[in-house]
């Protein structure tokens, strides 16, 4: 009956021979579902168990949208200056350098041109991992230059927003990007070049108040937080409790600020269909 009884007492495996599961192998959604990262990647970073859309950055969006992940990045070396000599807990240039090293990004936005289902497109995508996706002068400039590329080549423009708003370390320079990008988008509209704005979790502050809401189509991912000021600030200002689901993509759509909500798994085909409609 040796198969039924343990013949050797205790654990015999030496510590150095034990195998640990590597970090980052599994992902746990807010509802508690456990998903293997390989399965998550193959499912456009959407949990198959509960349809939770995991926050992703430009690397993943480019991988999902560009055919065979082939694209030409635009203005990739642009990096923030320090016009205000801003210092909080550390000097602004030190914070930028540390964030660049940690994230592997130059700033909070990447732009690129490539093909989506065989059709040329310019995509600008924000990265929340870079100082909360905050909009500074580099973000505004890269969006403006991406729009210029769309205008010059008559290529549709897709903006993927994910931001906490304007970057406080650049103060007025940051706020100026709202007007700058809005003016550029007006030129795009005059030239009748399609512009689609995709709002993802979260899209707030000056980004919502400018280019994120100026698309020919304004669309969003399910469950995204979309708003200007935060719920706490609004609650304290008006002195009332807020409705359930306030500032969710679904709430915003129901109140007329979005055209529709799109599942990330069908995003590429949905965008292609929209662009075909706008061509006609």
Strands 34-36, 260-261: pairing kind: unpaired
Number of H helices, E strands in the chain: 9, 9
Q: Are 37 and 47 in contact (CB under 8 A)?
A: no
Prior bond to 202 cis, omega within 30?
Answer: yes
**What pLDDT shows up at residue 188?**
96
- Beta-carbon contacts of residue 230 (< 8 Å; ≥ 6 apart): 204
Q: Which two tokens stand for residue 68?
A: 């065979």
* Model pTM score: 0.89
**What pLDDT sits at residue 17?**
59
Backbone angles phi, psi at 109, to 5 degrees: -150, 140
What is the pLDDT at residue 12? Answer: 63
**pLDDT value, residue 182:** 97
Q: What is the mean pLDDT of each run of 10 residues along the chain (280 residues)?
A: 59 60 78 92 94 96 97 96 92 96 97 97 98 96 98 97 95 95 97 97 95 97 93 88 91 95 97 88
pLDDT value at residue 270: 96
The pLDDT, as a whole number, for residue 1 is 52
Tell me how far the alpha carbon of residue 74 is from its chain's centroid.
Answer: 17
Q: Would you state the pLDDT for residue 18?
A: 56
Residue owning tokens 């990265």: 127
Buried residues in 38-60 as b, exposed as e (16+ CB within 10 A): eebeeebbbbeeebbbbebbbeb
| Residue with token string 């706020």 | 175
pLDDT of residue 14: 65
């Amino acid at each position: 009956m040796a198969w039924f009884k343990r013949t050797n007492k205790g654990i015999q495996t030496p510590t150095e021979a034990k195998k640990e599961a590597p970090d980052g192998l599994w992902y746990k959604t807010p509802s508690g579902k456990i998903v293997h990262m390989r399965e998550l990647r193959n499912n456009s970073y959407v949990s198959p168990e509960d349809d939770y859309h995991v926050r992703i950055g430009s690397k993943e969006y480019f991988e999902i949208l560009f055919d065979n992940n082939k694209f030409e990045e635009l203005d990739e070396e642009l990096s923030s200056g320090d016009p205000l000599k801003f210092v909080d807990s550390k000097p602004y240039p030190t914070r930028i350098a540390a964030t660049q090293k940690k994230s592997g990004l130059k700033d909070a936005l990447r732009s690129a041109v490539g093909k989506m289902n065989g059709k040329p497109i310019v995509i600008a995508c924000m990265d929340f991992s870079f100082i909360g996706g905050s909009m500074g002068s580099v973000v505004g400039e890269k969006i403006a230059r991406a729009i210029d590329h769309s205008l010059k080549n008559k290529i549709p423009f897709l903006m993927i927003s994910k931001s906490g708003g304007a970057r406080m370390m650049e103060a007025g320079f940051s706020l100026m990007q709202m007007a700058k990008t809005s003016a550029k988008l007006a030129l795009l509209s005059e030239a009748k070049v399609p512009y689609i704005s995709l709002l993802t979790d979260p899209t707030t502050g000056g980004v919502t108040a400018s280019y994120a809401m100026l698309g020919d189509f304004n669309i969003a991912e399910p469950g995204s937080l979309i708003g200007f000021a935060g719920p706490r600030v609004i609650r304290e200002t008006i002195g009332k409790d807020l409705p359930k689901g306030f500032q969710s993509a679904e709430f915003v759509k129901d109140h007329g600020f979005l055209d529709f909500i799109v599942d990330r798994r069908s995003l590429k085909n949905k965008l292609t269909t929209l662009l075909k409609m706008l061509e006609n």
